[in-house]
Amino acid sequence: MLLAEEIYILDDKKIVLRSAKLDEAQMLIDYLKTVTGETRFLMSEPDEIQYTRKEEEQFIDKHNKANDALLILAFVDGEYAGNCSFESKAGSRRSRHRAGIGIALFQKYTGFGLGRLMLNRLLTEIKNLEFEQAELTVAGSNKRAYHLYESLGFKECGRIPNANKYDDGTYDEDILMVLQF
Ligand SMILES: CC(C)(COP(=O)(O)OP(=O)(O)OC[C@H]1O[C@@H](n2cnc3c(N)ncnc32)[C@H](O)[C@@H]1OP(=O)(O)O)[C@@H](O)C(=O)NCCC(=O)NCCS
């Protein structure tokens, strides 16, 4: 799906939400390398981000063209701040009603309501498409994200102990959350 440009004002900043363009593939790869180094709460370490520009272009293209996926980029006062996305969980007809969500912002753009704005926008599209539930996974230590998801109506439905083993030998659990519409 494509999201045409939308403009919001948040905390006196101009926020633009829109779909990604193919020529932003390298920007998205660089962003992934940075945000995975800024927090332990994302899926991998920076050195594990090995996407080629072509693969990233395919990722953008797939989200823009599919009718059951959406990638939303956020810009704050003209600067790229991060993105959120959903994809249908459909491997078969049985899971077509489930949407999987992800979100990550550069640290400098966290903590002033942008995540809430983006997720509300994403959830509106998910509901409009008549998905029956949205699902996500959050690391147990990620208190900010957990609070945000809970306040949006997500409910915890399970925990995987020691799901994440970090390079320093410490662990964190994963919490599975679901929002049923
Ligand atoms: C998680 C993330 C998307 C949230 O977006 P954000 O813009 O920072 O969040 P918001 O400012 O919209 O909302 C954060 C909420 O958490 C609250 N919060 C902040 N720190 C908190 C903490 N340590 N414990 C509990 N709540 C906290 C805030 O008060 C706010 O709640 P409120 O609106 O009820 O006051 C963003 O911080 C991010 O991208 N972090 C790095 C990557 C990441 O963790 N991604 C999620 C992986 S599951």
pLDDT in tens, 129-170: 999 999 999 999 999 999 999 999 999 999 999 999 999 999
Dist. CA 116 → ligand 1 center (Å): 8
Segment 72-91 mean pLDDT: 96
Domains and CATH numbers, the chain: 6-180 (3.40.630.30)
Judge whether residue 82 has pLDDT over 90.
Answer: yes
The pTM of this model reads 0.97
Judge whether residue 90 has pLDDT over 90.
Answer: no
Dist. CA 91 → ligand 1 center (Å): 31
Nearest protein Cα to ligand 1, atom 22: 144
Is 15 close to ligand 1, i.e. is its CB under 6 Å away?
Answer: no
pLDDT digits (tens, 9 = 90+) for 100-118: 999 999 999 999 999 999 9
Judge whether residue 91 has pLDDT over 90.
Answer: no
Nearest protein Cα to ligand 1, atom 43: 104
Ligand 1 atom at minimum distance from 143 CA: 24
64 touches 2 (CB < 8 A):
yes
Segment 57-82 mean pLDDT: 97
